[in-house]
Amino acid sequence: MDIPLVDLKAQYSSLKDEINSSVGRVMESGDFILGPEVKALEEEIASYCGVKYGIGVASGTDALQLALLACGVGQGDAVITTPFTFFATAEVISRCGATPVFADIDPTNYNINHHEIEARIDGRTKAILLVHLFGQPADMEPILELADRYRLKVIEDCAQALGAEYKGRKVGSLGDAGCLSFYPSKGLGAYGDAGMVTTNNPEIAEEVRILRDHGSKEKYFHHRIGFNSRLDNIQAAILRIKLRHFDKWIEQRRQRAKVYSQLFGDVVDIQLPCTAPCTRHSFNYYTIRLKNREIDRDRLREYLSSQGIATAIYYPLSLHLQEVYKPLGYKAGDFPESERAQEEVLSLPMYPELSETQIERVVSAIRDYTSESRR
């Protein structure tokens, strides 16, 4: 593909010397698991997000898993979440022995619709696990208000949204715990798996710290059944270098999104990504919706691919319809907005190095295809 979905090589070549020398320093130090770079990254991310604590873990999935456990979610509990997300969001709820209870999404921003939550709260409900999908923050105020009223924990899945803001505050600082992924294709990506939990709550922070290292506070003395979920020093060293450039990258993503949206301006069959006024979208993905079902999304993807343009579908099957969740008893039609989104969304190339000419090519290819299909 000459226009990939993300271009990790372009980013590496711009930082090659800095990254290589800092990886080299860690290699020389002989300190690989946790270590000083991890500690420094935890402080820098906590301060970036505006929280007191950051706890580095092995992946975004583990960040979610450990945050749920630290919030007291366990066997027999229920956690309300969105069906329109990456599988890990619900998987970790099941892994705790709890049940994911889905609530439909808001069609304008693809995030959980707060109006759908209250009717699903019952005596088993322990927490709300929401996702800031694509980099667009969920509408937090009504969710926090509900959680407060029913004494529920709020966990934010910020895997796609580090740096995004809701009413001037960074995501990851709004609920009881925030969960970050540094998977390579995320806005701030490591060169392997890595993740972090952010929180202002010292008990949650302490619990995550214990859980990530075999349930121990002090080596060889164990308080809990925990995990081996430690962040390694090399990934942290890489992430610290990238963090210095991160705000500039978000600005570049936002600027690219603006160019896309201006160029798409008069294409009638396309819903552009929403940018709610009190939020700052971090544009991990630029996702459009094809409103006209006459336009076959999969054939459009094939056409774009033939033009050298990569696209992706996040996500093609809502979680309540996944085979593994059949025993939960959901059926097609239960969450119409999530099911409509799975048929209509299309994510386009998005990365800070994407050029205006490349964006023009993507938009004109889509424009050509859609005007052809309307005829």
Ligand X SMILES: *Cc1c(COP(=O)(O)O)cnc(C)c1O
Of 260 and 285, the one with the shorter C-beta distance to ligand X is: 285
Chain residues 132-161 in contact with ligand X, contact rule CB under 6 A: 157, 159-160
In this chain, which of 11, 49, 54, 59 binds ligand X, going by CB under 6 A?
A: 59
Dihedral of the CA atoms 72, 75, 79, 84 (nearest 10)? 120
Pick from 29, 62, 81: which is nearest to 233 by CA? 29
In this chain, which of 65, 89, 235, 318 binds ligand X, going by CB under 6 A?
A: 89
Separation of alpha carbons 258 and 124, rounded Å: 43
In whole angstroms, the minimum distance from the beta carbon of 14 to ligand X comes to 23
> Among 46-54, 80-88, 104-112, 287-295, which window interacts with ligand X (CB under 6 A)?
80-88
Query: Counting contacts by CB under 6 A, is residue 183 touching ligand X?
Result: yes
Distance set, CA 121 to CA 78, 112, 239 (Å) = 9, 14, 38
Of 11 and 59, the one with the shorter C-beta distance to ligand X is: 59
Convert residues 194-233 into a mask of x (bound to ligand X by CB under 6 A) and - (unbound): -x--------------------------------------
Query: Counting contacts by CB under 6 A, is residue 81 touching ligand X?
Result: no
Separation of alpha carbons 18 and 270, rounded Å: 41
Query: Counting contacts by CB under 6 A, is residue 264 touching ligand X?
Result: no
Query: Counting contacts by CB under 6 A, is residue 342 touching ligand X?
Result: no
Neighbours of 228 (CB within 10 A): 10
Size, binding site for ligand X by CB under 6 A: 15
Contacts of the segment 367-371: beta carbons below 8 A, 24+ positions apart? 367/267, 369/295, 369/300, 369/303, 369/304, 370/267, 370/269, 370/270, 370/290, 370/292, 370/295, 370/300
In whole angstroms, the minimum distance from the beta carbon of 196 to ligand X comes to 10
Separation of alpha carbons 242 and 252, rounded Å: 14
The DSSP code for 112 is B
In this chain, which of 11, 53, 55, 61 binds ligand X, going by CB under 6 A?
A: 61
Query: Counting contacts by CB under 6 A, is residue 287 touching ligand X?
Result: no
In whole angstroms, the minimum distance from the beta carbon of 61 to ligand X comes to 3
CA angle 316, 318, 321 (to 5 degrees): 115
In this chain, which of 38, 103, 112, 131 binds ligand X, going by CB under 6 A?
A: 131
In whole angstroms, the minimum distance from the beta carbon of 189 to ligand X comes to 10
The DSSP code for 102 is E
Neighbours of 272 (CB within 10 A): 16
Of 121 and 159, the one with the shorter C-beta distance to ligand X is: 159
Query: Counting contacts by CB under 6 A, is residue 286 touching ligand X?
Result: no
> Among 56-64, 70-78, 138-146, 349-357, which window interacts with ligand X (CB under 6 A)?
56-64
Through-space distance between the first and last CA atoms of the chain, rounded to whole angstroms: 29
Query: Counting contacts by CB under 6 A, is residue 55 touching ligand X?
Result: no
Q: Which position has the token pair 């025993």?
A: 327
Point out which residues bind ligand X (CB under 6 A). Answer: 59-61, 85-86, 88-89, 131, 157, 159-160, 181, 183, 193, 195
